[in-house]
Amino acid sequence: MSELKPVRGTHDILPEAMRRHRRVTDTACKIAARYGYREIATPIVEFTEVFQRTLGETSDIVTKEMYTFEDRAGESLTLRPEATAGVARAFMSGGFQHSLPLKLFCRGPMFRYERPQKGRQRQFHQIDVELLGVAEPLGDVEVIALAAHVLDALGLLGKVTLELNTLGDNASRQTYRAKLVSYLEKFRDKLSEDSRLRLTRNPLRIFDSKDEGDKRVVAGAPLLSDHLNDASREFFGRVQAGLKAAGVAFAINPRLVRGLDYYCHTAFEFTTDTLGAQGAVLAGGRYDGLMAAMGGPPTPGTGWAAGVERLALMIAEPEAPARPIAVVAAGGDAEVEAFAVAQKLRNAGFTADVGFSGNLKKRLARANKAGAVAAVILGPDELKTQAATVRDMESGEQTQVQLSSLETHLARYR
């Protein structure tokens, strides 16, 4: 039989790593709640159409990275590669159109078939914030301020840079798109095959290309910021003013774009170089055209997502869990009483660990290995007097304590 191992691009999150993982997700959930965001969970699997409509049929995610399969009923299903599409689908199928504005937070695993690398796996986890039904610039300000607040609570705000840009409204983008295509057509033969395909359908996505030839071409491309109308300039100005008022520092990156047509106005990324190459750890933007693109009612939206694994690599070591009280039975007759004592301690709020086998020496050794702060020893003599021997695992000092006073005596070890 061959050795059993995780599927390439997946990994077990073992207890020590899980503490970092939970620190990221629990902190984000707690901070989001302060802003009025309620947590939801969408299915891991959706109809493939949900993602084809939202991510674009020519995007790398749809054409190369999605885990898509046909179920027994012949339906095409896909493991979710990102969260926003599922949230948008839930918004429409759940009848939330009359509950706007809607503030939502979600977390969980996503799936993309891509080359595994540090902090990026084929099964990965995200935290996600979506604000639906708010068309005003302050909606963008709030989700960005919330993102900065989460990063600050994780001790990471000083390690990242907020990059900000505007995509303008639809009229501005159409004007810019024509200028961009005119420029890129001159360099068609120097573009990668993928970028040549994007040239007519979603040319802004060429800015996201990792191909070195594409990067050299777009370095001289016209900037969207030079083709904004007055309304778009005003919107972006109000976003910047709001961020300054909130004390959130940012840097304008005029080449930060989103390639799909339903994106508009604000685009942003929190980037870092602490994980090697410069990369985004949290990214988002405004997507006022998404709901309509999915066949729903026109609904403004803005939000962001962040990779949990990448953030978990950056944070300081979380506080260790509470050291347990070991409840040790010295002899078979005390097994049931030891378990009962442990259960009472747990009900009183202590962390308690019970050894299931071995003599007294082995059980104490196991307690020491588990990091127990104290051991409650119960043997035949203790049972007769309804007492226990409490051993301080640091000093070795032992004290006889009545079971009725055990919780009070152990309070010093909380």
Asked whether 123 and 109 are in contact (CB, 8 A), the reply is yes
Cβ-based burial of 189 (10 A; exposed 0-12, middle 13-18, buried ≥19): exposed
Domain assignment present for 25: yes
Query: Is residue 259 in a domain?
Result: yes
Which residue among 283, 314, 345 closes a domain?
Answer: 314
252-275 mean pLDDT: 88
Contact 24, 315 (CB under 8 A): yes
Residue 198 covered by a domain:
no
CATH number at residue 110: 3.30.930.10
Residues 152 and 65 in one domain: yes
Q: Are residues 271 and 353 in the same domain?
A: no
How many angstroms separate the CA atoms of 90 and 110, rounded? 17
| Contact by Cβ (8 Å): 157, 31 | no
Q: What is the mean pLDDT of residues 395-412?
A: 92
The chain-wide mean pLDDT, for the chain, equals 90
Phi and psi, residue 251, nearest 5°: -130, 135
| pLDDT greater than 50 at residue 1 | no
Q: Would 178 be classed as within a structural domain?
A: no
Q: Which residues contact 380 (CB under 8 A, 6 or more apart)?
A: 330, 331, 333, 334
User: Is there a single domain that holds both residue 30 and residue 141?
Assistant: yes
**Among the ranges given (58-67, 203-212, 264-273), the one the predictor scored with the smallest mean pLDDT:** 58-67
Whether 295 and 368 map to the same domain: the answer is no
CA distance 320 to 333: 34
* Nearest alpha-carbon partner for 198 in 220, 176, 214, 219: 214
Sheet holding 45-47, edge to edge: 45-47, 76-79, 67-70
The answer, yes or no, to whether residue 61 has pLDDT greater than 80, is no
If one counts the domains in the chain, the total is 2
Asked which of 255, 289, 314 is the last residue of a domain, the reply is 314
Q: Are residues 136 and 278 in the same domain?
A: yes
Answer yes or no: do 356 and 259 share one domain. Answer: no
Residues 61 and 133 in one domain: yes
Q: In this structure, what CATH number is given to the domain that contains residue 362?
A: 3.40.50.800
Block residue for tokens 């989460």: 150
292 has a pLDDT exceeding 80: yes
**Full domain range(s) for residue 234:** 15-169+229-314
Q: Is there a single domain that holds both residue 75 and residue 141?
A: yes
Q: How far apart are CA 87 and CA 229, in angstroms?
A: 31
- Is 196 within a domain? no
Q: Name residue 163's amino acid.
A: E
289 with 301: CB under 8 angstroms?
Answer: no
- What pTM does this model have? 0.89
Tell me the pLDDT band of 64, cut-offs 50, 70 and 90.
Answer: confident
In angstroms, the Cα distances linking 259 to 24, 205, 305 are 29, 4, 17
Q: Is residue 365 situated within a structural domain?
A: yes
Tell me how far apart the alpha carbons of residues 106 and 29 are, in angstroms, rounded to a whole number.
8
d(CA 233, CA 183) in angstroms, rounded, equals 23
Quote the percentage of the chain above a pLDDT of 90. Answer: 59
Do both 370 and 341 map to the same domain? yes
Q: Which long-range contacts (CB under 8 A, 24 or more apart) does 391-400 make?
A: 391/364, 393/326, 393/367, 393/368
Confidence of residue 152 (pLDDT cuts 50, 70, 90): very high
Per-residue pLDDT tens over the stretch 361-381: 888 889 888 899 999 999 888
Is there a single domain that holds both residue 280 and residue 368?
Answer: no
Query: Is the pLDDT confidence value at 130 over 80?
Result: yes
What's the start-to-end Cα distance of the chain, in Å?
A: 47
Query: 44 in a domain, yes or no?
Result: yes
Of 314, 342, 374, the residue at which a domain comes to its end is: 314
Residues 310 and 370 in one domain: no
Classify residue 302: in a domain, yes or no: yes
- Are 122 and 55 part of one and the same domain? yes
Does the structure show a pLDDT above 90 at 402?
Answer: yes
